[in-house]
Amino acid sequence: MKNQHCFNESSSKRKILVIKCSSLLWFNIKSKKSHLLPVEYQTLSPSNPVLNHHISSQFNEDLQDVNTKFMTMGGLVEQQVANAVHALLDTNANMAIDVQFQDNTVNRYEREIDEALTLILARRHPAAIDLRMVIAMSKANTDLERIGDEAAKIARIAQTLCEEGESPRGYMETRHIGNQVRVMIHDALDAFARVDAEQALKVLLADADIDREYQSATRTLMTYMIEDPRHISRVINVMWVLRSLERIGDHARNISEQVIYMAKGFDVRHTNIEEIEQKVQGK
């Protein structure tokens, strides 16, 4: 299956671009081939309240172009995380190296998106929901880049462990938390594409579960190191992987907080989950 399908339908007045990006990247261990399960990110749907409502068609196109680039970067980062985890679990050093090189592409996207948003601010002077979208995307852009950085860290550790040979303890926890984090990234990007505060709220709730599971896995691995000190250095490497996955969950949460800001106009950073639920549900 193809990783990304793009098509354009353009007219003199507007352009709608629908992008299909991967949700989760799974690997057939026997064949060592990747299988993508595609899910649509309808990033430029006319139902999106931010896009396609301006008198200036050029303003519409400016917002569409940067939104498309942002979602493309998101799909790349999502795949980068999936590949990093699978490189570790499948002891695939070549895949780990590829993930590290891919980080350069993510960094390039971050710079290009920042530049595009700066030009929109300078030329269009956006207000209301347009301004919230630009601010939210600028912050979420940084979080996507940092997710890419964490994926590269996981890949470097995976490469080291591949070279050392035997798989250490903690891979079961890594697989479980890695799957959950990848779902969080996908759901956060989907919420951003549709400006869906309810979907974003679900990501915030999932992050609390990730934090609890990370703490539980850390305690388990600490106990294992005490019982068998021979594998301390290797298990510590796995703990660093789990730490990176937990941070990726935090960045997915940050992106979802920006979705709520974009959709509702509320800044919910550093706010307890109960209060966020009330704001999102309008209570």
Domain count, the chain: 1
Residue 237 pLDDT grade (very low, low, confident, very high; cuts 50, 70, 90) = very high
The pLDDT tens digits of the residues spanning 259-280 come to 999 999 999 999 888 889 888 8
> What's the domain range around 239?
5-281
Of 26, 106, 30, the residue nearest 69 (C-alpha)? 106
The pLDDT tens digits of the residues spanning 135-161 come to 999 999 999 999 999 999 999 999 998
Residue 234 pLDDT grade (very low, low, confident, very high; cuts 50, 70, 90) = confident
Length of the chain: 283
CB 60 within 8 Å of CB 51: yes
Q: Identify the residue with better confidence: 31 or 42.
A: 42
- What's the CATH code of the domain at 12? 1.20.58.220
The pLDDT tens digits of the residues spanning 181-197 come to 999 999 999 999 999 99
Buried b / exposed e across 192-210, counting CB within 10 Å, b at 16+?
A: bbbbbbebbbebbebbeeb
CB 174 within 8 Å of CB 85: yes
Q: Which single residue is written with the structure tokens 């990110």?
A: 41
CB 22 within 8 Å of CB 3: yes
Amino acid at 98: D
